[in-house]
């Protein structure tokens, strides 16, 4: 980066490892007391910047929208990433901007590794025996993990102890640990059986616009010879089909084979929450419940004006911001209801030269037919 001077900083932890879905706090301190602005960035996002040599604020990045913010004290800055995801792994750094406009690159960066929890299957010591371990790239702060079979809690063990299974213990197994007061679950694995009770979702978190429609692709399985006698979706642990708020807006696309997709239309703010598919066969009464669930976040969006690009300061950046991270959308921009065709746009940002930006103009951003006005 084209900065002649770095400023000495001290970060509490220069290597952070965390399971996904937890909140991450990156705190760094500095001695300069006349800091006006702090710009956090990640070098891996540089292809999304107007100029790859000039970092842009992470809070304007479409991959982190609604999940990242930073707060400053007189001599420190803390970057918070909510609901950490595997794709958030990477290097994080910041730029200090003083009251007179001088810019300093932090002397230190922080490496973040986001990992998931996985069950690994190992050969047993004896014949017809398997050993299951609960694993993550991170050093777990919890000393114990919990084991589940066919959706039911069966055991708690020290992290160093495997779960030993015989050929008679076939079924669907997953593990969980408590970290930072939150239960973290692994996906399930099928042991000693060709087919197990299981539910799989295409996504664990869904971000969707208010008033739009959304689908939760879902598949389920169970041992041959079993017959499904009950299946349903829950919203915050309540049967969706019995909730008045979803009347006329919900569709179940399910069958006796494997499809358990749920569709919702005309989304409302109150639809935000946790969704799970449950089912039972004649040997899994009352119901089988997977370790996983879907979190739906219903959002609206706004245009944010910023000059946070660390270039020559002659650019105004308009960013289309949501309260959660969208999938890969195509953003369009309009000026006074006319499509913007001759200005630089990248991802969710529109870049305007200062002389061409006028407060009296109305700028809108559109995403798949949804619009917001500024």
Q: What is the mean pLDDT of the chain?
A: 86
Domain shared by 265 and 211, yes or no:
yes
The domain tally of the chain equals 3
CATH number at residue 139: 2.60.40
Q: Is the pLDDT of residue 370 over 60?
A: no
3-state secondary structure of 242: helix
Q: Which of 260, 291, 322 is the last residue of a domain?
A: 291
Residue 241 main-chain phi, psi, to 5 deg = -65, -15
pLDDT in tens, 114-139: 999 999 999 988 888 999 999 888 87
CATH number at residue 210: 2.60.40.10
The CA-to-CA distance between both ends of the chain, in Å, stands at 33
Would you place residue 284 in the very low, low, confident or very high pLDDT band (cuts 50, 70, 90)? low
Angle, vertex CA 163, rays to CA 157 and CA 164, nearest 5 = 140
Q: Is the pLDDT of residue 374 over 50?
A: no
Cβ-contact 261, 217 below 8 angstroms: yes
Domain shared by 203 and 259, yes or no:
yes
**Which residue would you say has higher pLDDT here, 99 or 44?**
44
Tell me the average pLDDT across 190-206. Answer: 86
pLDDT of residue 1: 61
Q: Residue 115 is encoded by which pair of tokens? A: 């990992």
Alpha-carbon gap, residue 85 to 325, rounded angstroms: 11
Alpha-carbon gap, residue 261 to 218, rounded angstroms: 5
Q: Which of 236, 261, 291 is the last residue of a domain?
A: 291
3-state secondary structure of 19: strand
Q: Residue 231 is encoded by which pair of tokens? A: 């299946």
**Residue 10 is assigned to a structural domain of this protein:** yes
Q: Which of 137, 153, 186 is the last residue of a domain?
A: 186
pLDDT of residue 156: 84
**Residue 1 is assigned to a structural domain of this protein:** no
User: Residue 250 has what DSSP assignment?
Assistant: E
Q: Is the pLDDT of residue 159 over 60?
A: yes
pLDDT of residue 368: 65
pLDDT of residue 247: 94
**Which residue would you say has higher pLDDT here, 21 or 273?**
273
Question: For residue 20, what are the domain limits?
Answer: 6-114+300-373
pLDDT of residue 373: 43
pLDDT in tens, 201-222: 998 889 888 898 999 999 998 8
pTM, two decimals, is 0.82
Task: Give me the residue label for tokens 């959660």.
Answer: 324
Task: Give me the residue label for tokens 């696309």.
Answer: 253
Which range of 115-119, 313-317, 336-340 scores highest in mean pLDDT? It is: 115-119
Domain shared by 280 and 308, yes or no:
no
Give the chain's length: 374
pLDDT in tens, 47-86: 888 888 889 899 888 888 778 999 999 899 999 999 899 9
C-alpha distance from residue 79 to each of 72, 124, 150 (Å): 9, 45, 39
């Amino acid at each position: 980066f084209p900065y002649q001077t770095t400023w000495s900083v001290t970060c509490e932890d220069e290597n952070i490892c965390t399971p996904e879905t937890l909140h991450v706090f990156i705190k760094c301190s500095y001695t300069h007391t006349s800091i006006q602005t702090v710009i956090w960035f990640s070098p891996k996002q540089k292809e999304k910047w107007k100029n790859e040599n000039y970092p842009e604020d992470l809070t304007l990045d479409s991959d982190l929208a609604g999940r990242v913010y930073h707060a400053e004290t007189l001599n420190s800055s803390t970057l918070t990433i909510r609901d950490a995801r595997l794709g958030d792994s990477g290097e994080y750094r910041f730029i200090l901007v003083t009251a007179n406009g001088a810019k300093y690159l932090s002397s230190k960066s922080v490496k973040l590794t986001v990992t998931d929890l996985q069950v690994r299957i190992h050969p047993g010591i004896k014949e017809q025996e398997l050993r299951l371990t609960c694993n993550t790239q991170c050093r777990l702060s919890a000393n114990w993990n919990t084991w589940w079979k066919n959706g039911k809690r069966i055991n708690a063990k020290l992290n160093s102890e495997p779960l030993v299974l015989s050929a008679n213990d076939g079924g669907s197994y997953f593990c969980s640990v408590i970290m930072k007061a939150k239960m973290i679950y692994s996906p399930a694995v099928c042991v000693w059986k060709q087919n197990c009770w299981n539910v799989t979702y295409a996504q664990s978190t869904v971000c969707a616009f208010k008033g739009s429609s959304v689908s939760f692709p879902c598949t389920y399985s169970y041992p041959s010879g079993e017959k499904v006698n009950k299946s349903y979706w829950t919203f915050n642990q309540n049967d969706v089909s019995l909730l008045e708020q979803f009347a006329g807006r919900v569709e179940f696309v399910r069958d006796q084979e494997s499809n358990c997709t749920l569709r919702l239309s005309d989304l409302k703010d109150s639809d935000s929450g946790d969704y799970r598919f449950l089912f039972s066969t004649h040997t899994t009464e009352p119901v089988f419940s997977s370790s996983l669930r879907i979190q739906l976040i219903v959002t609206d969006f706004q245009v944010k004006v910023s000059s946070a690009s660390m270039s020559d300061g002659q650019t105004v950046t308009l960013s289309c911001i949501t309260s959660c991270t969208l999938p890969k959308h195509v953003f369009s921009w309009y000026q006074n209801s006319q499509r913007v065709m001759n200005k630089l746009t990248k991802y969710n940002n529109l870049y305007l030269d200062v002389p061409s930006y006028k407060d009296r103009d109305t700028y809108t951003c559109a995403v798949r037919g949804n619009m917001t006005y500024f």
